[in-house]
């Protein structure tokens, strides 16, 4: 019995020896907190924080501006901020009238952004050369020069004006127009000149160009401003190919054809008579 107990104890010691003989595993190296991967959404937030880390906070202020020029607005902002404002105002835009502005707890960037948005509008510009209108956008405001946004940033005032149409020359010139193609169609010189003068009258031209017709060369000579002489070319291009309209000519041809057909019928129906026949023979006696 004692031998069995001793044998069992020896076997237990032998079975536990490998477990105690194995080396202890090395614990994993602990990474610093700064090297741990950020949670979802952290990179974008960190990027914003880094971008604004060196940007100073803009001064907030209240403004009650009654309206006036850009220079007057600048002085009102400086008084409200308690700081000077770096602004450049071109001389040609110094008299632009700005609307009244009343704001609370804003900075200069917010104020200028709102002012520029409120000034935007679309205007119609008439082009005298083409006789049509075009839609153009206008506005004004303060823009920041290159650099970092801060209380000491440099701003400049600018005005977006509509582009002016090309200036039409008022110098009088002499132009020549051949009337041969139109006279050959059946029109007269009086027909053409009357249409031209009617156009000038309806357009309100108080001093129309001079017109003269040279009979030998069949030329119409005009002397006046270029924009008014364009009426002559427009009239000539609009004249029809013939003085008579096509439906009227077709009607006349149809009437002539009917008359020819009737004459043919009468000629066939009439009996042929001999010149030597006596009156008795003609009467059938």
Q: Are residues 152 and 180 in the same domain?
A: no
- Supply the pLDDT for residue 137: 85
- CA–CA separation, 261 vs 105, rounded Å? 99
Please report whether residue 103 resides in a domain: yes
105 within some domain: yes
CA 285 to CA 280: how far, in whole Å?
A: 5
**Residue 92 C-alpha from the chain's centroid:** 26
Evaluate if pTM is beyond 0.85: no
Q: Is 132 a domain residue?
A: yes
Percentage of the chain exceeding pLDDT 70: 65
Looking at the predicted structure, is the pLDDT value of residue 101 above 60? yes
- Residues counted in the chain: 285
- In-domain check, residue 12: no
Beta strand spans in the chain (E): 61-65, 86-88, 101-106, 121-127, 132-144, 154-160, 172-178, 210-214, 219-225
- Per-residue pLDDT tens digits for 153-207: 999 999 988 776 555 567 888 999 999 888 888 888 998 999 999 999 888 888 8
Domain assignment of residue 211, given as a range: 172-238
Q: Quick one: 146 and 200 in the same domain?
A: no
149 within domain boundaries: yes
Write the DSSP string, 75-98. Answer: HHHHHHHTS--EEE--GGGTTPPB
In a domain, 225, yes or no: yes
Per residue in 206-217, pLDDT (tens digit) is: 889 999 999 899
Q: Domain total for the chain?
A: 2
Instruction: Please report whether residue 148 resides in a domain.
Output: yes
Q: Which pLDDT does position 183 carry in this prediction?
A: 87
Q: Kindly report the CATH number assigned to the domain that includes residue 212.
A: 3.30.1370
The reply to whether 176 and 124 lie within a common domain is: no
Please report the pLDDT score of residue 163 as a whole number: 73
Specify whether 232 is located in the same domain as 152.
Answer: no
């Amino acid at each position: 019995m004692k031998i069995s107990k001793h044998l069992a104890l020896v076997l237990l010691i032998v079975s536990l020896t490998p477990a105690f003989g194995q080396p202890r595993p090395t614990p994993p190296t602990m990474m610093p907190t700064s090297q741990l991967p950020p949670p979802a959404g952290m990179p974008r937030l960190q990027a914003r924080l880094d971008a604004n880390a060196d940007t100073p906070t803009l001064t907030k202020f209240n403004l009650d501006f009654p309206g006036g020029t850009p220079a007057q607005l600048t002085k009102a902002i400086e008084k409200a901020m308690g700081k000077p404002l770096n602004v450049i105002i071109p001389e040609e835009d110094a008299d632009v009238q700005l609307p009244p502005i009343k704001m609370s707890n804003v900075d200069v960037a917010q104020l200028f952004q709102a002012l520029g948005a409120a000034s935007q509008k679309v205007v119609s510009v008439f082009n005298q050369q083409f006789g049509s209108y075009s839609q153009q956008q206008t506005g004004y405001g303060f823009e920041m020069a290159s650099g970092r946004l801060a209380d000491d940033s440099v701003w400049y005032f600018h005005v977006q004006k509509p582009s002016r149409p090309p200036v039409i020359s008022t110098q009088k010139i002499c132009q020549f127009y051949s009337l041969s193609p139109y006279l050959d169609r059946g029109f007269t010189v009086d027909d053409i000149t009357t249409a031209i003068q009617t156009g000038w009258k309806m357009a309100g031209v108080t001093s129309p160009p001079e017109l003269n017709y040279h009979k030998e060369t069949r030329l119409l000579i005009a002397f006046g401003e270029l924009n008014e002489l364009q009426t002559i070319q427009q009239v000539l291009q609009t004249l029809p190919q013939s003085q008579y309209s096509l439906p009227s000519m077709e009607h006349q041809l149809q009437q002539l054809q009917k008359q020819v057909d009737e004459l043919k019928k009468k000629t066939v129906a009439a009996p042929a008579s001999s010149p030597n026949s006596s009156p008795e023979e003609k009467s059938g006696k």
